[in-house]
Structure 1
């Protein structure tokens, strides 16, 4: 089978290789999945650079989620083969992968492979973070990197809940799309001062919450946009730069800064909560109330082109790898 692997830490386009490998055999509690498609997420690329919460054990596969068909069962697994499932596992960029049976979500026929491939990382994160934020109808939330697949999901969820959204962009080529999804206000940080615009939009009150993914000066500026008692949820550092934080601002406005990592959130909540989120996300996707667009699909053999495409500014959808 073809699979993507790396033996040293580094830039993904430099260290990732597509190789031939024997079919893996499932152990107790595992299933083997014939992969149909898998997305390229920022976390996948950070993992290859050893800049993620999970450290690679070299040599390692990569890719954290996908959709496929259950092909073989390990000891103690009671489900049947032939079922189409969304899965999470290290090594999803492959023709076949092993996954723990607990990580599988059966996919309804109404859901396309392209949507099912993206079912876990962004939809679960968006749904969980909107809940974690405690935002109420009428309140404002600031989304940095508003053009990302994650932010587009948050925009749609907030629109459904009556939460008002401000999104930051560096280019205006996605403005029409973001407005169509329900984004209330757009700020181009290359042309406008973030804090000034947020103050004007919120009549001087500031936003109740910031969902921040950029790091560096963006984090520092976004913190100034919070209303008294507001919360910032940090879920990424796309700039790879650590922010400088104003301690006085945090103290006297009684601000809260929290990290959010879906892996830990899934461990922390009980199984009933996880199942509830899965049901709600599936319902929203099947009904078409939220969209997961795909911009392009590449075979594993075009891995380098796929990664380069995934890193382009102004993408209008996810990049998928198909085995």
Structure 2
């Protein structure tokens, strides 16, 4: 039986109310006492933890959760449960490798150890590596949930912006399996061939004079009535204006928040005269409202896709405590290069 650790080393939030401050200045490597487990909690020895766009927004104090100065950052990861105070389920989990989600408002997972609720831990299939397992909750589950929602809305095709992101690539893969066509919007020409090879039915560059005409034509031809929006700001009304009457925009991110304080905009005229709708999606809300069997079912579906090689997270590199802050800055600017993974116990 493992000895319960007394201290925990990791990257804590150093909140700075200045949008121009470097992201690496917003985290501080500290060591602090490791508290004992409360009822319902487990202790996870972390193997790997990625950086997600939501982590960047949280570091800037713009996320749906208020920043907690001095708390470890990081929303998801992978590790082994080495202690549990969660009844029979905790005993069953003890010793297992799990994908883990941080408890909202508490310490995150960019540390050697993470304390979280047992219900936020999902046993991981042995075929899935640690770096891939560390990424199976936030992005892949979001990709699946977004397409399932598009199906509920009766969409024959979807438009996805920031399509070279991990969520975007997951959407393209899963939509293809579900018989839904995809129109991928990207800024970089280098991503066009990549997304076409992945299965996108159309790939359109945003920074061209013909962008609106191309998107209008593609949306009409493919009957794309749902926008999956990770960008927000002026991108939402710009894209929706090219889509058919009755289209729905599902805003699940705001990548502009990593550079700009504007959260989101929509076109009033399109809402009134084109009967367009805007709704939001946050995975934390979905999981919080879902039944346990629904969460386990989602996890099994996503892990099966990983094990079969259908889903795959692009990895930029693995970094220990020494190299992580520099890699954080790289990821903030070059997200399409792949995930930066922290390996705190390497």
TM-score of the superposition, structure 1-length normalised?
A: 0.93
Match of 1:145 in 2: 162
Distance 2:85 2:220 in 1: 59
Which stretches of structure 1, 4 residues or more, deviate above 6 A after TM superposition? 135-138
**Alpha-carbon deviations, 1:59-112, whole Å to 9, x = none?**
211000000011112263322532111000141100111011001101111111
18-27 or 67-76, which moves further after superposition? 18-27
8 Å CA contact 2:147, 2:171 repeated in 1: yes
Distance 1:107 1:205 in 2: 37
**Alpha-carbon deviations, 1:225-247, whole Å to 9, x = none?**
22222111001111133444222
Distance 1:231 1:75 in 2: 41
Distance 1:13 1:94 in 2: 16
How many aligned positions are there? Answer: 323
Tell me: CA distance 1:169–1:235, structure 2 relative to 1, closer, same or farther (3 Å). Answer: same
1:49 to 45, 60, 64: 60
Match of 2:96 in 1: 83
Q: Indicate the SS of the match to 2:81.
A: strand
Match of 2:341 in 1: 320
Unaligned runs of 5+ in 1: none
8 Å CA contact 1:138, 1:162 repeated in 2: no
Any residues of structure 2 matched to 1:18-29 within 5 Å, and which? 18-29=29-40
Distance 1:320 1:297 in 2: 5
1:223 to 219, 222, 240: 240
Distance 1:161 1:210 in 2: 17
Instruction: Determine whether 1:254 maps to 2:258.
Output: no
Match of 1:187 in 2: 204
Distance 2:31 2:47 in 1: 17
**CA RMSD, 1 decimal:** 2.0
CA displacement at 1:303 relative to structure 2? 2.2
204-213 or 144-153, which moves further after superposition? 204-213
Q: Indicate the SS of the match to 2:33.
A: coil
81-90 or 190-199, which moves further after superposition? 190-199
**Alpha-carbon deviations, 1:200-240, whole Å to 9, x = none?**
22446862100011122211111112222211100111113
Distance 1:136 1:47 in 2: 30
8 Å CA contact 1:38, 1:321 repeated in 2: yes
Distance 1:102 1:243 in 2: 33
Match of 1:6 in 2: 13
8 Å CA contact 2:240, 2:247 repeated in 1: no
Unaligned runs of 5+ in 2: 1-7
Instruction: Determine whether 1:113 maps to 2:130.
Output: yes
